[in-house]
Structure 1
Amino acid sequence: MKLEMKDSPGQLVAALKPISDMGGNILSVIHERDPEADGGLLDVQIMCEISEGTLDTLLSQYRSQGISVLRVGEERFLVRRSIILIGHLIHTDISDTIDKIDSTGYAEVHELSMVMPAINEPSSAKMTIKSDCITDVNRALAILRDVAREKELLIIESLEGN
């Protein structure tokens, strides 16, 4: 779910409590405060598992609390795509590259495995990006392509789904 709520103390707990009260399982919460946002509102993404038939009750509780539900999906992070990066990954700050994907709020780096043959030799890494839909994975891959151009890294993309 993607929710919009007042940016004030206690609002996040108020959004999570009904899920818990219904016996739901909260799997992840993405809560980023945007200092540029106007209106004192905050977007929060919640991934949870709830029993069938409880969604309408949960949505009703949110409405009564003044929490707007912007999006409801069945499951999050269903789509994964792996790519290979080749170049001076450490020298060009691989953590910065990862942050550019993770900070989007709609995709994240799920796995990273790297081989570094020698200090002055190019490294290679397999990176897996995950999101809830192919559109957002493609948006994240577009960001990664831009970063690769900027950092002079080679990207090898899969021709088939991962």
Structure 2
Amino acid sequence: MRINLVLELLDAPGQLVKVLEPISTVGVNLVTIIHKRDYKNDDGRVPVQLTLEGEQEDLKNVVNKFEELGFTIIEMDGVIKKEKITTILFGHIVDQDLRDTMDRINALEGVVIVAFDIKLNGEEKSTALINIEADVGKKQTVFNRIAEIAKEKELLVINEV
């Protein structure tokens, strides 16, 4: 049996070797690997395409090991597993407990903030650009949570289209 995966790895020395270790440990064959360093995203991550061959249970074990090691699987056999969501908050973000805002978004199952960039303007209102990675199908849930937080904290929200 074969499985095609696309992982996102930090573009740093040793990351590719860390991906190969579970493959050899479980006894699955690596058929192809494409490491696309020219396609680095805003978080410094690059896609790595893998084609693996082995018994169904062994392939499942490799996928589970990747997840345990914290590797993001963004595609499996052509099915998108993760989607990127970008939103902007405007207002007194820091004064309204920034940590609470982040924790409440991250509390959603299958959702994690991968980047939170804030631009401060002294005592004036600030702007935050939030990049979120979520399981497929969670986008509306994320937008609903952000809208709820923004309403409570009197922040303006600009969601992606």
Normalising by the residue count of structure 1, what TM-score does the alignment of the two structures yield? Answer: 0.55
CA contact (8 A) 1:112 1:127 kept: yes
Q: Which runs of 5+ in 2 are unaligned?
A: 1-21, 29-48, 62-72
1:1-150 equivalences under 5 Å are 21-22=25-26, 52-54=52-54, 56-58=56-58, 74=76, 78-119=82-123, 121-133=124-136, 135-150=137-152
Secondary structure of 1:130 counterpart: strand
C-alpha change, 1:59 and 1:78, in structure 2 (3 Å) is closer
What fraction of aligned residue pairs are identical, expressed as a percent?
A: 25
Q: Which runs of 5+ in 1 are unaligned?
A: 1-17, 25-48, 62-71
Partners of 1:83 and 1:60 in 2: CA distance? 34
* C-alpha RMSD of the superposition: 3.2
Secondary structure of 2:53 counterpart: coil
For these two proteins, the number of residue pairs brought into alignment is: 108
How much has 1:83 moved relative to structure 2?
1.1
How much has 1:105 moved relative to structure 2?
2.6
